[in-house]
Amino acid sequence: MARVLHNLLLFLLRLAQGVRVLGYWSLIYGYCALCTTVALLKLWWSIILRPTTTFQWVIRETPPGCLNDTSLGTHCYVRIKESGLRFHYVAAGERGKPLMLFLHGFPEFWFSWRYQLREFKSEFRVVAVDMRGYGESDLPLSTESYHFEYLVTDVKDIVEYLGYNRCCLVGHDWGGTIAWLFAIHYPEMVTKLIVLNCPHPSVFTDYALRHPSQLLKSSHFFFFQLPRFPELMLSINDFKALKALFTSRSTGIGRKGRWLTAEDLEAYLYALSQPGALTGALNYYRNVFSSLPLSQNHVRSPVLLLWGERDTFLEQEMAEACRLYIRNHFRLNIISGASHWLQQDQPDIVNTLIWTFLKEGEGRKSYRN
């Protein structure tokens, strides 16, 4: 009798787990369907209002001059033996100085750190990487190639290739997520962690599940799960949606700060118009729901979190909640008037706050190998 009850209990537990998993994926794909319907309606409406809508785009063959600005650094490449992938990065500052590594977000590339490359090269070896799937780095075709574990390992391999065993790590948006995860899994390799407009992964997950407002702001996560259609929506009318993302009043770069120039915008369009570029960028989102949970989630490095007050993609309340996951010094600065792209529209303030943080505590000697 006891054995029968034991087996019945196991069956019920497995059934409950199966129902939970089924409900989880039903919710995700149901929301995907809703977001797709909204996108289709917008597309249909734009075709009616603008019959000249074109589904083709121009592949930019010549990079704008700003990408070859020598004041930003030297263009370099590295092929990682383990993954076989080639990465592009821009480096400045003397070799042997402490390493400051920059990880960009979506839909950007190394160029988003142009103001920081100029600022910190005086005392650091500054390196801004094109992450896998972006810019001139390799673009793996399979979605599985963009799992978090591979993205984190990329950072480790690049740091070691550059001849360092630790660095000051700076990340924004998706680059911020990878920076958080890298600091969690390789704490000995991060002297200080600087994250811009990206909450700790556990904070984002918990908050989004409990606050419908954030779930609505994250609707693009669900829409981007679809194959090919998001690429179409982002690229029609010569990347009109991406242009709006960078320049509109609600989401764009620069309101009270520095505006994105026409040449700066063309640099982004040059990178994103290359074959496969949009798919590589979107594959970061296509793995987010299937990634394994963190085995442990506390950060032991000193952390600076910078947050743009005008971020339209993330609720500001998540920033303070990150404190719960820091086992070291934590500084949070909310920058008034700054957008989600705060290192570009408020670079002077961002750079000043980073300098202040770098000079706190252990001092500059802590950055050397």
| Each residue's pLDDT tens digit, 114-144 | 999 999 999 999 999 999 999 999 999 899 9
Residues 6+ apart with CB under 8 A from 147: 287, 290, 291
pTM of the model: 0.87
Q: Is the pLDDT of residue 16 over 60?
A: no
Cα angle for residues 348, 350, 351 (degrees, 5° grid): 65
If we measure between CA atoms, which residue out of 236, 268, 237 comes closest to residue 252? 268
Domains and CATH numbers, the chain: 72-212+283-361 (3.40.50.1820)
How high is the pLDDT of residue 1?
58
Distances (CA, A) of 109 to 90, 177, 322: 11, 15, 26
Q: How far is Cα 106 from Cα 175, in angstroms, rounded to an integer?
A: 8
Q: Give yes or no: 172 in active site.
A: no
* Residue in 130, 138, 154, 173 annotated catalytic: 173
Both tokens of 324, joined, read 């719960």
167, 99 Cβ separation under 8 angstroms: yes
How high is the pLDDT of residue 366?
41
* Residue in 88, 284, 340, 345 annotated catalytic: 340
At residue 4, the 3 state secondary structure works out as helix
Measure CA 79 to chain center.
22
Q: Give yes or no: 200 in active site.
A: no
Q: Is the pLDDT of residue 358 over 80?
A: yes
| Each residue's pLDDT tens digit, 32-75 | 667 667 666 666 666 665 665 566 667 888 899 999 999 999 99
302, 361 Cβ separation under 8 angstroms: yes
How crowded is the C-beta side of 68, counted as CA atoms within 13 Å? Answer: 5
| Each residue's pLDDT tens digit, 162-216 | 999 999 999 999 999 999 999 999 999 999 999 999 999 999 988 988 888 888 8
Distances (CA, A) of 42 to 7, 30, 38, 39, 227: 52, 19, 6, 5, 18
Q: How far is Cα 350 from Cα 342, in angstroms, rounded to an integer?
A: 7
Q: Give yes or no: 340 in active site.
A: yes
Measured in degrees and rounded to the nearest 5, phi and psi for residue 8 equal -65, -40
Confidence class of residue 251 from pLDDT cuts 50, 70 and 90? confident
151, 178 Cβ separation under 8 angstroms: yes
Q: Is the pLDDT of residue 89 over 90?
A: yes
* Residue in 146, 268, 285, 325 annotated catalytic: 285
Mean residue pLDDT across the chain: 86
* Residue 187 or residue 11, greater confidence: 187
Both tokens of 49, joined, read 């209002």
pLDDT mean over 15-34: 58
Cα angle for residues 353, 191, 186 (degrees, 5° grid): 130
At residue 88, the 3 state secondary structure works out as strand
Q: Is the pLDDT of residue 268 over 90?
A: yes
pLDDT mean over 235-242: 89
